[in-house]
Amino acid sequence: MANVLVFIDNPGASLKKAHLELLTLARTLGSSTVAVNGDLTEAATATLAEYGATAVLRPSSADLDDFLVAPKAAFLAAAVESAGAGIVLLDNSPEGKEIAARLGIRLNAGVITDVVAVDPDGTAHKSVLAGSYNTTCKATTPVTVLTVKANNVTPEPAPAAAPAVSTVEVPADAAATAARITGREQKVASGRPDLTDARIVVAGGRGLDGDFGPVEELADALGAAVGASRAATDAGWISHDAQVGQTGKTVSPQLYISAGISGAIQQKAGMQTSKVIVAINKDADSPVFEIADFGIVGDLFDVLPQATAEIKKRKG
Ligand code: FAD
């Protein structure tokens, strides 16, 4: 069994589900040390213990967030050495992948992204080419860096003693701190779950004709995140953050409801690994029905409000 290092960046008041998935996966691979950047609350530390983390490593400098991601990779490289880790797990966000790439360079380690499962020997499984193939790969280097897609592991606690917290020295690196962040603006919170973590995603496309209201109402009835096709984000109907697909976010929820989206290959690339896909489209020949588990041929402006009303009724 390997020593596994899990990276958690800015956990906030409580850990995200994606973090709990990484901690659960880590336990199947060996003993888990967690490298945490940013504030670490008592509640978050208690959750780390609840999910079996045996040690927590903190960076010596508190200003890693003042720069782009390079210093985080420097911190992780030092943490890998301190923990004697053979496997590093990160989330599969664009930032997680960039940190993984930079860490791979620093450690001369194999990097595997978009991982959906990991065997106890470190063999990684990926779903590729818009979910048409599953591939299996294993790094041949002493350290393996894996970025793991959310919603592929069921979080399970395994309470352990409170983990020992220690500090690792982040090496001074002029190149890593060359780009300083000069301003930040908080996005207005939607109150909906994060698109990449959400268990349910309701996504809309050009068929909405500029009106995301029916999609948002269904999403809120289900406690879901809202996604979109590129046609909808390019038209400015919804922010680019909501784009799902090859050049947008990759999601893998339990349920993906697609409304007024044709199902182009670039859209499929971001959602085809969803567990259950429900498509609503008025064109029975739309390619989205090729990958849908359930299809409704109809006008989304009729179908979505009925679904929302029925869900609200059943929820009471
Ligand atoms: P359309 O293809 O126009 O489909 C609209 C659908 O809505 C149709 O099927 C229509 O039958 C249906 N419809 C219309 N009115 C109604 C109604 N009232 N009720 C029910 N159904 C209705 N696309 C992405 O989504 N994500 C990406 O990340 C992405 N990346 C790309 C990268 C590259 C390099 C390229 C070249 C393209 C990319 N695209 C991406 C664009 C992609 O090729 C498609 O153009 C886009 O996905 C189409 O969006 P759409 O399905 O919403 O629109």
List domains and CATH numbers for the chain. Answer: 2-168 (3.40.50.620), 200-315 (3.40.50.1220)
Beta strands 144-148 and 110-118 are parallel
CA of 66 to the centre of ligand 1 (A): 38
**What is the CB neighbour count within 10 angstroms for residue 84?**
11
Confidence class for position 189, pLDDT limits 50, 70, 90: confident
Residues 168-175, mean pLDDT to the nearest whole number:
89
CA distance readout (Å), 107 to 73, 169, 205, 316: 10, 16, 42, 55
How many whole angstroms from its chain centre is CA 133? 20
Q: What is the pLDDT of residue 127?
A: 80
Encoded amino acid at 106, one letter: R
CA of 98 to the centre of ligand 1 (A): 28
Q: What is the pLDDT of residue 131?
A: 65
Please provide the average confidence, as pLDDT, over all residues in the chain.
Answer: 94
Alpha-carbon distance of 1 to 4, in angstroms, equals: 9
Q: What is the pLDDT of residues 125-150, one digit of tens each?
A: 998 776 678 899 999 999 999 999 98
More confident residue, 185 or 228: 228
Q: Which two tokens stand for residue 130?
A: 């818009």
Alpha helices (H) in the chain, listed in sequence order: 17-29, 42-50, 70-83, 94-107, 213-222, 230-234, 265-268, 288-291, 300-315
CA of 205 to the centre of ligand 1 (A): 6
CA of 261 to the centre of ligand 1 (A): 5
Say what the pTM is: 0.76
Beta strands 133-137 and 2-9 are unpaired
Q: Give the torsion sign (CA, 53, 58, 64, 68).
A: negative
Alpha-carbon distance of 195 to 250, in angstroms, equals: 9
* Rg of the chain taking only CA atoms, in angstroms: 21
Residues with CB under 6 A from ligand 1: 205-207, 229-232, 243-248, 260-262, 264, 266-267, 270, 280-283, 286, 299-301
Q: Which two tokens stand for residue 72?
A: 């985080």
Nearest-10 Cα torsion for 40, 98, 193, 153: -80
Alpha-carbon distance of 169 to 184, in angstroms, equals: 26
Which residue has the CA at smallest separation from atom 37 of ligand 1? 266
Which residue has the CA at smallest separation from atom 11 of ligand 1? 283
Which residue has the CA at smallest separation from atom 16 of ligand 1? 207
Tokens 């499929």 — which residue?
268
Alpha-carbon distance of 293 to 277, in angstroms, equals: 5
Report which of 194, 309, 308 is spatially closest to residue 249, judged by C-alpha positions: 194
Q: What is the pLDDT of residue 94?
A: 86
Alpha-carbon distance of 225 to 241, in angstroms, equals: 11
Alpha-carbon distance of 281 to 289, in angstroms, equals: 8
User: Exposed, middle or buried, 256 (CB in 10 Å: 0-12/13-18/19+)?
Assistant: buried
Tokens 């670490």 — which residue?
40
Alpha-carbon distance of 128 to 131, in angstroms, equals: 5
Confidence class for position 186, pLDDT limits 50, 70, 90: confident
Q: What is the pLDDT of residues 87-128, one digit of tens each?
A: 999 999 889 999 999 999 999 999 999 999 999 999 999 987
> Cβ(203)–Cβ(237) under 8 Å?
no
Alpha-carbon distance of 183 to 198, in angstroms, equals: 28
